[in-house]
Amino acid sequence: MGMSRRVIIIGAGPGGLATALLLAKAGADVTILEKQPRVGGRTSVIESDGYRFDLGPTFFLYPQILQEIFQEVGRDLFKEVRMTRLDPQYRLTFGAGGELNATSDLERMVTEIARLSPADGPQFRKFMAYNRVKLEKFAPCLQVPFPGWTSLLSARLLAVLPFLKPWKSLHAELAGFFRDPRLQLAFDVVKRVIDVRKAENKAAAEARTKAEQKQKILGILARKQDEALESKSEEELRALIEAM
């Protein structure tokens, strides 16, 4: 491919930035267009009154991927970007009583779990060993594109199904490892956070649509162009807006 070509990338999220790095390294003349005043897309932050709000991810779990891209262009992620290891990564406080400080230190995590449920402490080692195999088997599938539904039938993916067990719910799998329902909940929590975020996003989108509809009606009123609305009493108009 003639890499003296000019390339325009729309969006400076992680996808656009990574693509730009790789194409520029390959010799393309790259321009990125970003509609926001900042780069980073959903991984950026907004600041207000001295507070920083994450727009998307709150912690970074898999730096290897970025390191691969940085290395590809002759840089070292860990020199370019200051990483702070969170330890504990988060603290769960259970309604049924007790706390769990999640740490990436295996032995401390076993102790944390045993504090809640002594029988479940050693089970965590089995759980980790089991998931390590699962990740090793599945990682090659995560590194190839899935352009269409037929990609789900690839021999590579079918070969890992016995390890992924898509027929089994996460809850059933966790119940096979941990007796204490608090621990089953603890390892299900990321999925729950994603479910809640999906629900929150839907609620936010609905609220935004409502606000936009109200604004439209108010705009019509302000311009006094709609005869039908103009002829309505203030009370009728309020009722109309509330119903939107």
Ligand X SMILES: Cc1cc2nc3c(=O)[nH]c(=O)nc-3n(C[C@H](O)[C@H](O)[C@H](O)COP(=O)(O)OP(=O)(O)OC[C@H]3O[C@@H](n4cnc5c(N)ncnc54)[C@H](O)[C@@H]3O)c2cc1C
Nearest CA to 59 out of 69, 70, 45, 72 is that of: 45
DSSP for 14-32, written as a single string: HHHHHHHHHHHHTT-EEEE
| Touching ligand X, residues 65-104 (CB under 6 A) | none
9 makes contact with ligand X (CB under 6 A): no
Residue 9 token pair: 């990338």
- Of 3, 29, 57, 151, the one binding ligand X (CB under 6 A) is 57
Shortest-Cβ-distance residue relative to ligand X: 13
Residue 99 token pair: 């706390």
Q: Which is nearer to ligand X, 36 or 213 (CB)?
A: 36
Cβ proximity of 103 and 87 under 8 Å:
yes
- Of 5, 29, 31, 33, the one binding ligand X (CB under 6 A) is 33
169 makes contact with ligand X (CB under 6 A): no
**Per CB under 6 A, which region of 5-13, 103-111, 133-141, 146-154 contacts ligand X?**
5-13
Q: Supply the minimum distance, in Å, between the C-beta of residue 201 and ligand X.
A: 8
Size of the site for ligand X (CB under 6 A): 17
Q: Which is nearer to ligand X, 204 or 211 (CB)?
A: 204
In angstroms, the CA 196 to CA 199 distance is 5
**Per CB under 6 A, which region of 35-43, 70-78, 79-87, 171-179 contacts ligand X?**
35-43
In angstroms, the CA 95 to CA 154 distance is 44
The H or E element that residue 92 is part of is strand 90-93
Residues forming beta bridges with residue 91, ordered by sequence position: 101
Phi-psi region of 41 (alpha: psi -120 to 50; beta: other; left: phi over 0): left
Q: Which is nearer to ligand X, 3 or 10 (CB)?
A: 10
Q: Supply the minimum distance, in Å, between the C-beta of residue 23 and ligand X.
A: 14
Q: Supply the minimum distance, in Å, between the C-beta of residue 87 and ligand X.
A: 18
In angstroms, the CA 164 to CA 131 distance is 10
- Of 2, 6, 35, 37, the one binding ligand X (CB under 6 A) is 35
Nearest CA to 89 out of 189, 185, 176, 210 is that of: 189
42 makes contact with ligand X (CB under 6 A): yes
Q: Which residues bind ligand X (CB under 6 A)?
A: 10-16, 33-36, 41-43, 56-57, 197
